[in-house]
Every structure is written in C-alpha cells, then in structure tokens.
C-alpha cells in the first residue's frame, strides 16, 4: 500500500485489512469529521446536495444524517425467516439505546466484539421497548358477524378458541350466525352486556373511559333490544357507536387472554402488517410498546385477533410464534451489528441535534408571533402602521401648505388640523 500523499489521507489499521482513507471513501470508514476543515465540510455538503451553511457541528450533523441513513434505528425491522412477523425498537427507548451503545463503543476497534454483541442482545431482551407486527391474513373474517357488533362478539370467540389446544385453535372456529330476534339469544346477550357494564363501572379507571364505554354499550343494548325479524334492517349501530379495540381488555376473560392487532398507521390502509395494539390481560395501555417477556408469553400461547378496516375477527394462531420471535430478535441484532456501533451513534446524535435546532428555530418564529401564534397578524400590523404613518405624514404636509398660504395672504384666521391617533392592536 502506498503511503499517504496528503495531510487529509491516512491509513486505517484498526482492521486486519488496512485501507487507505481519503475524502472520497471516508464515509465507509467512520471518518471523524471533526478533523476536517470547514471548507472541506462545506464541499462535502454540496456534493450531497444538502445546505452548506452553518457552523462546523451543523455541517457534520447534516453529513451524518445524509450518508448514514441506514443507521436510523427508528425504521430498522427484524423479520422472521418466513417474514410473517417483524419487530422494531420503539422510538421511546432509542435515547437509552444510544447511551447503552456509547458505553460499549471502542474507539480503537471497528469490528464489533462478541462481548459487545452479547450486551446488545441482553439489553434488547431485558430493557428495550419493542413493537411487534404480524402479517395480516383475513381468512377468519366471517368468524364474527359484520353488523357493527363484531368487537362485542370477539371476547366470546377468542375465549372459546383459547380453551382449545394450540393445534386446534384455527379448526375450532365457526362462521358467525347470530339470530338477535331469538328470545333466548337476546336475553343472553343483554345479560352479558349488563355484566360487563357492572364490571367496567367497578374498575379504578378514568371516568371519561367509563363514560365512553357506556355510550357504546347503550347503542349495543338498543340494537339488540329493538331487533326483530320483521324490522331487522330498520335498526343498526352508527359507526361512531361501534366498540373500539382498546376496550377489549376491559371485558375480555383474563383466564383466556388474546392479542389484538391493528394498523400502526391508520392512514396507510395498504400496509400488509398489523401492529400489536394490546394484550387483554394487561390492564395498562402501553402505546403499542412491549417488553420482550410480554411478547414471549404471547408467542408461546398465541391467540391473535385484529381490528381492521371496520371489522374485528381472529387471526391464524394454530402454531407457536416463539421461533419467529427469536428469529426476529436475531435479525435486528444482526442488522445493528452490521451497521457498526459508531455509525449508529453518529447518525442518531446528529439527527437529535438537527431536531433540537429545528425546535429552536420554530421557537424564534413563535417569539415574533402574537399571542394567538399567527405570524401573519404581525405583518398586517406592521403594514397598517406604515399606512397610518403615511397618512399622518400626508396630513402634516397639507397642514404646512395651508399655513404657508395663510401667511402669504396675511389672513389672521386660526386653523386647527387634527391628525388623529394611530392604534395598533396586538
């Protein structure tokens, strides 16, 4: 290998295969941009088509965010081998993960050691908050009747399914046919919903949640009570009164828990994967973030359902998902290690710096705005001030002209010219 010919070139001897590092290939070598001149940093920004203004740290942050996009751990997905599930690190735990990586970082080594790998794995399975996704399959769509009451039906369907051994959980399901006009069925359903109401009212939860549940329950009771064979099409439940999936932990049997999945982003209706929204034996809503042990328990004894596209129904659950969970964990660890600890740190620190800078800039704009936060108002006020000042100036000019004419004609009449006041409303 030739010796460096420039003060901006050096040999990376940290690995078993030393390489010459230049400005052209430094990104793949985790180059320390702090050693660069501002001029070189600006040139690098221009080559990346990003803004080249600002101080040295701002330029470095822009470069890191641009060239290390693959290190954005917010979007990294660890798939199972059959791609039926994947996991992600929840955004709320990313800062803690970066702190953990900083404690593991070794400036003298590019390669990740086995000890570092073990500690990253240990942190993920003990400390991380994880998002869990399954491939959406609608083969059991008809197991709940799609008449606006499907979410009320789901606890019974999932309890019945949970009573069966794992291998029978899909075969035991039956197409739902509920005759609400049947007196015995009507009585049973009304008795059940009244039991749920009594139970929910006894829970130590926010009064607004209870009130919201009661509104849905009232609509459900009205639907069942008014349903007759002759008028079965005249009574329905408004979409706004459908029971939502987040109410299922309130009414599901804790002895037969099930996992509820829905779209992570409701605006992306074409997403093939649904994210775990709640597990019915966990009373606290965790915001779609779960510890590994919670996911492990759910995958060892799966009983999955979904609330999707206005309907609630079971998902396939006749086999253990624990192997898929393990594969997903190993997949995300492999991706992280392949990216390199230093690269991950650099990207996420720079991304955080840029986010703080945007927040600071937004705050400066807010300071120029009025109390309503409408920046346009201040512009209008300034324009009105200019117009008012112009009117005052014009009036004064007219006053001087009149005064001169009066003096010229030797008239002794006194003229008072009122210019008025200008009021600016903040």
Q: What is the DSSP string of 75-130?
A: S--EE-TTSSEEEEE-GGGHHHHHHHHHHH--TT-SSPPHHHHHHHHHHHHHT--E
Q: Convert the pLDDT of each residue in 124-169 to its tens digit.
A: 999 999 999 999 999 999 999 999 999 999 999 999 999 999 999 9
Banded pLDDT at 402 (limits 50, 70, 90): very low
Mean pLDDT score of the chain: 82
Q: Which residue has the higher pLDDT, 383 or 198?
A: 198
Handedness of CA 214, 219, 222, 224 (dihedral sign): negative
Q: Convert the pLDDT of each residue in 17-54 to its tens digit.
A: 444 444 444 444 445 788 898 999 999 999 999 999 99
Question: Is 309's pLDDT higher than 90?
Answer: yes
> Once rounded to an integer, what is the mean pLDDT over residues 221-249?
83
Which residues, in sequence order, are bridge partners of residue 86?
Answer: 79, 133
The whole-angstrom separation of Cα 158 and Cα 259 is: 10
* Contact indicator for 148, 326 with CB cutoff of 8 Å: no
Q: Beta-carbon neighbour count of residue 71 at 10 Å?
A: 23
pTM comes to 0.76
Q: How many residues does the chain have?
A: 426
Banded pLDDT at 360 (limits 50, 70, 90): confident
Least confidently predicted of 108-122, 273-287, 294-308, 324-338: 108-122
- How confident is the model at residue 414, as a pLDDT? 32
The whole-angstrom separation of Cα 9 and Cα 189 is: 78
Q: Nearest CA to 220 among 240, 203, 206?
A: 240
Vertex 364: Cα angle to 360 and 370 (nearest 5) = 140
């Amino acid at each position: 290998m030739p010796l460096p010919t420039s003060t901006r070139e050096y040999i990376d001897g940290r690995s078993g295969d030393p390489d010459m590092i230049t400005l052209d290939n430094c990104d793949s070598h985790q180059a320390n941009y702090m050693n660069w001149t501002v001029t070189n940093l600006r040139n690098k920004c221009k080559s990346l088509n990003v803004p080249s203004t600002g101080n040295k740290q701002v330029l470095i942050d822009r470069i890191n965010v641009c060239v290390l996009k693959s290190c954005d751990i917010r979007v990294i997905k660890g798939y199972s081998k059959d791609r039926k599930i994947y996991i992600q690190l929840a955004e709320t735990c990313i800062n803690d993960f970066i702190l953990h990586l900083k404690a593991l970082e070794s400036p003298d080594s590019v390669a990740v050691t086995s000890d570092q790998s073990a500690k990253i794995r240990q942190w993920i399975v003990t400390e991380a908050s994880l998002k869990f996704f399954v491939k959406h399959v609608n083969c059991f769509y008809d197991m709940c009747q799609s008449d606006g009451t499907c979410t009320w039906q789901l606890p019974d369907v999932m309890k019945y399914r949970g009573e069966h051994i794992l291998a029978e959980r899909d075969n035991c399901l039956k197409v739902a046919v509920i005759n609400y006009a049947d007196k015995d069925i009507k009585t049973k359903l009304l008795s059940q919903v009244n039991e749920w109401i009594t139970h929910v009212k006894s829970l130590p939860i926010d009064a607004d949640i209870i009130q919201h549940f009661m509104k849905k329950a009232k609509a459900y009771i009205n639907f069942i009570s008014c349903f007759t064979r002759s008028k079965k099409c005249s009574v329905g439940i408004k979409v706004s009164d459908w029971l939502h999936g987040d109410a299922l932990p309130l009414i599901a049997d804790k002895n037969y828990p099930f996992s509820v999945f829905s779209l992570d982003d409701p605006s992306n209706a074409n997403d093939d994967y649904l994210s775990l929204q709640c597990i019915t034996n966990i009373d606290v809503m965790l915001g779609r973030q779960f510890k590994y042990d919670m996911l492990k328990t759910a995958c060892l004894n799966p009983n999955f359902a979904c609330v999707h596209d206005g309907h609630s129904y079971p998902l396939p659950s006749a086999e253990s998902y624990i192997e898929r969970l393990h594969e997903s964990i190993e997949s995300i660890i492999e991706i992280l290690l392949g990216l390199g600890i230093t690269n991950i740190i650099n990207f996420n620190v720079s991304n955080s710096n840029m986010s703080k800078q945007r927040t600071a800039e937004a705050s400066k704009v807010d300071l120029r705005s009025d109390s309503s936060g409408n920046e346009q108002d201040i512009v209008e006020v300034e324009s009105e001030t200019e117009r008012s000042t112009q009117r005052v100036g014009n009036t004064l000019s007219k006053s001087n002209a009149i005064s001169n004419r009066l003096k010229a004609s030797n008239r002794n009449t006194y003229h008072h010219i009122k210019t008025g006041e200008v009021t600016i409303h903040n």
